[in-house]
Structure 1
Amino acid sequence: MNWSAVEREPERVPAADGAGQDRGDGVPAAPKGLPWAAGCVSGVGSLPGVDPVEAARYVLGEVSELPFLPELPSRGLGADMIGRSLAVLVDMPVDHQPSGWRLVPRPGLELRRARDFLEHDLDVFTEAAAGYTGPLKVAFAGPWTLASSVELPRGHKALSDQGAVRDIAEALAEGLALLLADLGRRIPGARLLVQIDEPSLPAVLAGRIRTPSGFSAVPAVEEGPAIEWLAAVLGAAEAVGPVAAAGVHCCAPQVPLDLLRRAGARFVGLDATLLTRAEDDAVGEAVDAGLGLMFGLVPTSRGADLSDPRRTVTVAVDLWRRLGFAPDRLGEVVAVTPTCGLANASLDDARSVLRHCRQAARVLVESPE
């Protein structure tokens, strides 16, 4: 079966506070407040399967509130989050060694393959999205996750060299700006939301990134540099014309919400099922500061119970109640996504998960209590 085997007329949700209104040049204006409409549903980024044509059609039809450029890591090395993001770097060639990705003097075969994957994905999505107007999310790994995943020429983690981290952040900022400008030309009706994926950031801050030998860990990175280079990438993205907002997604426990806010994130995506009560204040402060939240609420594991959307959103409703926010704001501030891992699901299960996301988002808007 393929993604398009189950197609339907997309459900439309009213735009929030000016979202989607044309600003006069054919591009929908950025919303005055949050970068999505109430009842919004989206994906994290990755999907199962190997056919980008079918994935693009499915995303544009089934996740119409906030479609996204799909990642299809099942195609192999270079098609995953890290490979796609390395393909964006400007003047920072890499190659794939037995130990993983490594900075090298000249681009390796695997980097060329990753660039080919990305270019093909953009071409396919451009064709599928012809005439599309509205929000569109694209996701790339952030500087700290890339620095944790790439080795220096002599085999040490790039994270261990602050000069290398700076170079990665600058190369990512420049490459991402070029790509977003190109995407804006390809799909002129799109209002882009840029998601910087930083699953490694909590481990970077805690000094838990292992060295290549595995016998020790790279020293913890202080908040100052962590904010500086993440802010550089977020700022470069938001400076591009068609970009409405840039934010950060982190599926690890203990997401540093305050740090992300200070780095300039307009929204934060996280796995809400991992939140603890000790993090209530941080979430409340993020909402008070105007951040949008993408909550991973729908489990992606095989055999997960998807029978009752009210049970699925309990963690969000209970959190909202503890924070004392008005119930009718929950469906506006919180966009619903799956938890991470959807790429490992079957196509049928992935369709069920995204369908359940829509049902869960409807509960948050219509009757959260």
Structure 2
Amino acid sequence: MSEEHSYPWPAASATGVGSWPGEDPDEAVRTILGELPDLPHLPELPARGVGADMLGRTLGLLVDMPAEVQPSGWRVADTPGRDLGRAHSFLSYDLDALTEHARDFTGTLKIQAAGPWTLAGTVELRSGQRMVADPGACRDLAESHLEGLLAHIAEVGRRVPGARLLVQVDEPSLPAVLTGSLPTASGFGRLPAVDRVRVEEVLRVLFSAIADAGAVPAVHCCAEGAPVDLLRRSGARLIGLDAALLGRRHDEMLGTAVEAGTGLMLGVVPGADPTPAQARRMSDPAATVSSVRELWNRLGIGPELLTRAVVTTPSCGLAGASPGHARQALKAVRDGARVLRDEPRR
């Protein structure tokens, strides 16, 4: 295989998935920049309420497609209302904190947004049915999402002009969209699966546009059954997965991705407060990344590429964790990445 691939992050990098506990964007940004100097990210703080999480932040980016919160969740609306106003305000606070603390940052900076298929599988039409059930609505959503995300990339670029942006598209609902396992509005049936060709086409257009904007397209799917081949073909330069969900059946797909120059963002510590056994494992950096070493050995790829192609992360966002565990999780993934870097040289 070729080992001449270039990766837009330093060797032995670690990063977070996105969300973070607490309500103070200044403290969150300072912490992330301090704990993850090689690949920091713009955190999401869902504890602030409606509009502050990944979904709300992304819906606030959409162009000419307002939404509001109903008892069943986010739903398409006729006009922008209070819920979107909150989402815009929260993002403004977050970007101001980023500008304050990272304006001189010159490395790779990660930002996150929910993907078009996760939005389609979550947000409701006015009828109460999920948008994914309506192909026309999905097309409109994809166009609105693309336009809004590109504007967001440009805004972050203006605020942190020395950074190279890595744009993580979060698609936790993608496996359910592809397998037809999302429930209908009544809850008694299942919505039909969306054609894989259509799914790939939408993502390819999105990732291509991100690259054309000068950013690095990435995708994260922490659900079981993540379609690695589809995501690679769509143009993602970095694919985020939960390492605990990867078995031998994934080896061929992952090996093909790495050989094609696609990086892997692998979750190796729990996103929620750990059990005693998990805490003991986290305290040992070598044990933290043992699943990554085992995977690499199965793939048969030279160890010199391991710390270039792999970025270590928590398994999912840390919004539900205690502040203590959140900090410990970032330390654990950072220490684990260093172990992977140092081991081949022993």
1:148-193, CA deviations, whole angstroms, 9 ceiling, x for partnerless residues?
1111111111000011111111101001111111111111101000
Q: Does 1:308 align with 2:284?
A: yes
Among 230, 250, 258, the alignment partner of 1:259 is: 230
Aligned residue type for 2:123: V
Q: Does 1:144 align with 2:120?
A: no
* Aligned mates of 2:104, 2:64 — CA distance in 1: 33
Aligned residue type for 1:175: G
Q: Does the 8 A contact of 1:174 with 1:236 survive in 2?
A: no
**RCO higher in structure (CA 8 A, sep ≥6):** 2
Q: TM-score, normalised by structure 2?
A: 0.95
* Aligned mates of 1:312, 1:57 — CA distance in 2: 25
Once the 2 structures are TM-superposed, how far is the Cα of residue 232 of structure 1 from its aligned partner?
Answer: 2.0
Question: Residue 361 of structure 1: SS of its match in structure 2?
Answer: helix
1:290-317, CA deviations, whole angstroms, 9 ceiling, x for partnerless residues?
1011000122332332121111111111
Q: Does 1:342 align with 2:313?
A: no
Once the 2 structures are TM-superposed, how far is the Cα of residue 262 of structure 1 from its aligned partner?
Answer: 1.2
Question: Residue 150 of structure 2: SS of its match in structure 1?
Answer: helix
Q: Does the 8 A contact of 2:18 with 2:317 survive in 1?
A: no
Which runs of no fewer than 5 residues in structure 2 stay unpaired?
none
Q: Does the 8 A contact of 2:240 with 2:267 survive in 1?
A: yes
Q: Does the 8 A contact of 2:16 with 2:317 survive in 1?
A: no
Q: Does 1:273 align with 2:249?
A: no
Aligned residue pair count: 338
Paired position in structure 2 for 1:217? 190
Q: Does the 8 A contact of 2:201 with 2:234 survive in 1?
A: yes
* Aligned mates of 1:341, 1:136 — CA distance in 2: 17
* Aligned mates of 1:329, 1:231 — CA distance in 2: 26
Aligned residue type for 1:352: Q
Correspondence 1:328-367 to 2 at 5 A: 328-367=304-343
Aligned residue type for 2:257: A
* Aligned mates of 2:81, 2:188 — CA distance in 1: 28
Q: Does 1:82 align with 2:82?
A: no
* Aligned mates of 2:169, 2:202 — CA distance in 1: 12
Aligned residue type for 2:311: A
Question: Residue 143 of structure 2: SS of its match in structure 1?
Answer: helix
Question: Residue 121 of structure 2: SS of its match in structure 1?
Answer: helix
Moved more, 152-161 or 229-238: 229-238
Question: Residue 252 of structure 2: SS of its match in structure 1?
Answer: helix
Question: Residue 344 of structure 1: SS of its match in structure 2?
Answer: coil
Correspondence 1:159-308 to 2 at 5 A: 159-241=132-214, 243=215, 245-303=216-274, 304-305=278-279, 306-308=282-284
* Aligned mates of 2:317, 2:30 — CA distance in 1: 21
* Aligned mates of 1:228, 1:325 — CA distance in 2: 30
* Aligned mates of 1:212, 1:120 — CA distance in 2: 35
* Aligned mates of 2:51, 2:131 — CA distance in 1: 19
* Aligned mates of 1:54, 1:212 — CA distance in 2: 40
Q: Does the 8 A contact of 1:197 with 1:249 survive in 2?
A: yes
* Aligned mates of 2:199, 2:67 — CA distance in 1: 23
Once the 2 structures are TM-superposed, how far is the Cα of residue 341 of structure 1 from its aligned partner?
Answer: 4.1
Which runs of no fewer than 5 residues in structure 1 stay unpaired?
1-16, 18-31
Once the 2 structures are TM-superposed, how far is the Cα of residue 236 of structure 1 from its aligned partner?
Answer: 2.0
Once the 2 structures are TM-superposed, how far is the Cα of residue 324 of structure 1 from its aligned partner?
Answer: 0.8
Once the 2 structures are TM-superposed, how far is the Cα of residue 228 of structure 1 from its aligned partner?
Answer: 1.1
Once the 2 structures are TM-superposed, how far is the Cα of residue 223 of structure 1 from its aligned partner?
Answer: 0.9
Among 87, 93, 99, the alignment partner of 1:114 is: 87
Q: Does the 8 A contact of 1:88 with 1:172 survive in 2?
A: yes
Q: Does the 8 A contact of 2:288 with 2:333 survive in 1?
A: no
Paired position in structure 1 for 2:300? 324
Paired position in structure 1 for 2:129? 156
Paired position in structure 1 for 2:101? 128
Cα RMSD for the two superposed structures = 1.4
